[in-house]
Amino acid sequence: MRIAMKLLSACMLFWLVGGAYAAGMALNKVEVSVDLPALERGADTVIDTCTVCHSLKYIRFRDLAGLGFAKDKVQAWRGDSPMGSVIASKMTVDSALLAFGAVPPDLSLIAKAREGGENYVYSFLLGFYAAPDGMMTNHYFPGTKMPDALGIAGVTDAAQRALLEQKARDVTSFLVWAADPHAQERQTLGYYVIGYLLLLTTLLYFLKRRIWARLNTIQQNQHKE
Amino acid sequence: MLSRVIGWIDQRFPLTSFVKRELTDYPTPRNLSYWWNFGFLAGFVLVLQIATGIFLAMHYKADVNLAFDSVQHIMRDIKYGWLLRYLHSTGASAFFVVIYIHMARTLYYGSYRAPRELLWWTGQLLMLLIMASAFMGYLLPWGQMSYWGAEVITNLFGATPLIGDRVVLWLRGDFAVGDATLTRFYALHYLFPFLIVAMVVIHMVALHTVKSSNPSGINLAAKDNIPFHPYYTSKDFFGLGIYLIIFCVFVFFLPHLFIEPNNYIPANPLVTPLHIEPEWYFLPFYAILRAIPDMLGGVVAMALSVVIFAVLPFADRSSIPGGAHYRPVFRVMFYVFIVDVLVLGYVGSQAPIGFLVPLGQIATFIYFATFILLPFVSKAEDRWLRARGLPPELQALFEQRPPREKWLRK
């Protein structure tokens, strides 16, 4: 049955690795950030630029304040909308359809809703380029209807590209937070829970050993008889 | 005081004697390995699924216009809602890990053999109920994979001869998966766990009638049994600790592993995802479905692959007790079968192209061949082992009870 144990762990690994997908062009990896200034820069861009077309219907301004952003910052973002209102798109579905021929998807869950997750979002935002025929397209979503929102296509200056990459990284970090706002809390709690369980299980192991040790003495006594 | 209360109860209800007979003093073989922990673990997982499920149900809305949003409401606004949901969604996968290991242990040690046939069959029914619950639960988040998974699977019932269309209509409550399907799946998803509890009780009654098997496969003499408490309670709780550590790693750090990206997109009947793939625990059966080119044939093969385990008590014709412990050929068959199931799982997770098609067909063939060959192989192995000479403990067993006489019957 020891072989079975090995088999089991082998197949777990297999599934984990096998779960990785095979996409057309390899995605760029992004190190998403969880610190407040980066998230705030990301939120700035998302609310200024992306919400022209996209909504974030599961995020309320109140949630942004709850995350710890400065009050006047949230105030500036929301304008006259109440704290409890969600981040809506400035464009109606009909006008978006008319303008782009596609409805811009809600961005609240987008960092989870694509194969490749945050790496996809990051790569997509930086993937715009002008095709030889002059049409704007994207390495990771050929023929996408979305315009080059960050303005990366045609930028060749290294320093400027680095700035845009930083911007995309901040935007992605914010969207990753938006898709799973309790992730930080979850992981912190996870360390405590697992630490506690390790302690408890160690104690349970020694308890079990002590109880089963009785069995050996009983058996020895039986043999003596 | 407490003893007086218990005394009062005992005059009216056999509480103390029941606990003593079925729990604390319940005789258990002393040589059980850690593979015997998984039955208890399955019971624990069931309780946790029911507990988290009831709280999720307090916030979930079974309506096509509200379902997806209500799950996000649980994830974002309800206090520790994310924990409830991840415990439940990860718990579903954990349930299958635990019962598949529990079943593999039963196969390896031949625990399904007489007199444990009913124990095995009630276990089979449990597996079917769990599969049905998981399938219906997967529709509830109302994401793209929920919707299309249900669409594809319910569609399979259309292969039923003559009344196929009507069966599909009856299952869905509508011509396509929709609000009627969601509400009935929700109702049944709440009902089935309690059917499972009832079946577990039956499973336990059967177990306590025939008692646990053990790694040797030989029915042990009374002196080799030990009381369940404190020996196996302590061992089960230690095992539970290990289980919880592994489970919590997934719940707190990898909860998205078991949630398809597509299921973060609300269900849309007009957009079919590129790959529709069932949850990992159905993949081997899904591979068998696809291995047969004909739809009806595929559905029959898939259904058969799930229920065929029931024939094992008859198919295993060895007179050597137990499973792999004394039976090297049986052990080889076991490992071939396990590897085969893993191969099927892999094939089921991939698009059916290239060498994967014949690989899936060969693996399907081996899957069924295992069951068909078992009667002959077990008989031949029996003869070979006897010709070679049995180990003394088996020899002693057969001298006590001549092999002609069915020694298993008491």
Q: What percent of chain A has pLDDT over 70?
A: 86
Range of the domain at A197: 184-225
Please check whether residues A193 and A153 belong to one and the same domain: no
Under an 8 A CB cutoff, do A207 and B265 touch? no
Please check whether residues A68 and A140 belong to one and the same domain: yes
Number of residues assigned to chain A? 225
Q: What is the pLDDT of residue A154?
A: 85
Q: How confident is the model at residue B179 (pLDDT cuts 50, 70, 90)?
A: very high
Indicate if the pLDDT at residue A22 is higher than 80.
no
Q: What is the pLDDT of residue A15?
A: 44
Q: What is the pLDDT of residue A6?
A: 53
Q: What is the pLDDT of residue B346?
A: 97
Please check whether residues A217 and A130 belong to one and the same domain: no
Q: How far apart are CA B306 and CA B41, in angstroms?
A: 22
B288–chain A nearest CA distance, Å = 19
pLDDT in tens, A128-161: 999 888 888 999 999 899 999 999 998 989 999 9
Q: Which residues of B touch A208 (CB under 8 A)?
A: 234-235, 237-238
Q: What is the pLDDT of residue A207?
A: 98
Q: What is the pLDDT of residue A25?
A: 79
A204–chain B nearest CA distance, Å = 5
Question: B-side interface with A, Cβ within 8 Å?
Answer: 30, 33, 35, 72, 75-76, 82-83, 86, 101, 104, 108, 223, 226, 230-231, 234-235, 237-238, 241-242, 244-245, 248-249, 251-253, 255-257, 259, 261-262, 264-265, 280, 335, 338-339, 342, 345-346, 349
Give the mean model confidence (pLDDT) for residues B363-392. 95
Tell me the CATH number of domain B33-276, given options 1.10.3720.10, 1.20.810.10, 1.10.4160.10, 3.40.50.10160.
1.20.810.10
pLDDT in tens, B224-276: 899 999 999 999 999 999 999 999 999 999 999 989 999 999 999 999 998 88
Which residue in A has a C-alpha nearest to residue B82's C-alpha?
Answer: A182
Q: What is the pLDDT of residue B192?
A: 98
Does the beta carbon of A207 lie under 8 angstroms from any beta carbon of chain B? yes
Under an 8 A CB cutoff, do A212 and B241 touch? no
- Domain borders along chain B are 33-276, 277-410
Cβ density class B162-193: b for 16+ within 10 Å, e for less: eebeebbeebbeeeebbeebbebbbeebbebb
Indicate if the pLDDT at residue A225 is higher than 60.
no
Please check whether residues A32 and A89 belong to one and the same domain: yes
Higher local confidence (pLDDT), B275 or B190: B190
Q: What is the pLDDT of residue B401?
A: 64
Residue B175 φ/ψ, nearest 5 degrees? -75, -30
Q: Name the one residue in this structure whose structure tokens are 């935007």.
A: A171
Please check whether residues A22 and A130 belong to one and the same domain: yes
Please check whether residues A128 and A214 belong to one and the same domain: no
Q: Name the one residue in this structure whose structure tokens are 């020895």.
A: A220
Q: How confident is the model at residue B399 (pLDDT cuts 50, 70, 90)?
A: confident
Q: How many CB atoms lie within 10 A of CB A96?
A: 18
Number of residues assigned to chain B? 410
A153–chain B nearest CA distance, Å = 28
Q: What is the pLDDT of residue A20?
A: 39
The answer to whether the Cα torsion of B5, B6, B8, B13 is positive or negative is positive
Q: What percent of chain A has pLDDT over 90?
A: 76
Q: What is the pLDDT of residue A13?
A: 45
Under an 8 A CB cutoff, do A211 and B108 touch? no
Q: How far apart are CA A110 and CA A26, in angstroms?
A: 19
Among B216, B227, B364, CA closest to B293: B364
Please check whether residues A189 and A90 belong to one and the same domain: no
CB pairs under 8 A between A and B: 102
Q: What are the tokens at B389?
A: 């000479």
Q: What percent of chain B has pLDDT over 70?
A: 98
Indicate if the pLDDT at residue A21 is higher than 60.
no
Which residue in B has a C-alpha nearest to residue A195's C-alpha?
Answer: B245
Q: What is the pLDDT of residue A17?
A: 40
Indicate if the pLDDT at residue A76 is higher than 90.
yes
Q: What is the pLDDT of residue B236?
A: 98
Q: How many CB atoms lie within 10 A of CB B115?
A: 16
Q: What are the tokens at A13?
A: 């690994």
A7–chain B nearest CA distance, Å = 8
Q: Name the one residue in this structure whose structure tokens are 């180990």.
A: B391
Please check whether residues A37 and A21 belong to one and the same domain: yes
Which residue in B has a C-alpha nearest to residue A109's C-alpha?
Answer: B264
Q: What is the pLDDT of residue A2?
A: 52
Q: What is the ipTM of this complex?
A: 0.91
Please check whether residues A174 and A192 belong to one and the same domain: no
Chosen for mutation from A8, A202, A203, A204 (greatest number of chain B CBs closer than 10 Å) is A204
Q: What is the pLDDT of residue B128?
A: 97
Indicate if the pLDDT at residue B326 is higher than 50.
yes
Active site (catalytic) residues of B: 208, 212, 235-236, 279
pLDDT in tens, A200-222: 999 999 999 999 999 877 666 66
Under an 8 A CB cutoff, do A186 and B83 touch? yes
Q: How far apart are CA B39 and CA B51, in angstroms?
A: 19
Higher local confidence (pLDDT), B409 or A38: A38
Q: What is the pLDDT of residue A215?
A: 86
Q: What is the pLDDT of residue A9?
A: 52
Give me the number of domains chain A comprises.
2
Q: Give SS3 for B189.
A: helix
pLDDT in tens, A165-214: 999 999 999 999 999 999 999 999 999 999 999 999 999 999 999 999 99
Does the beta carbon of A129 lie under 8 angstroms from any beta carbon of chain B? no
**CATH number, position A60:** 1.10.760.10
DSSP for A149-186, please give it: TT--TT---HHHHHHHHHHHHHHHHHHHHHH-TTHHHH
Q: What is the pLDDT of residue B125?
A: 98
The answer to whether the Cα torsion of B9, B10, B16, B18 is positive or negative is negative
Q: How far apart are CA B409 and CA B221, in angstroms?
A: 15
Collect all residues with Cβ–Cβ distance below 8 Å to A109 and sequence separation of at least 6. Answer: A58, A178, A179, B72, B264, B265
Give the mean model confidence (pLDDT) for residues A119-134. 93
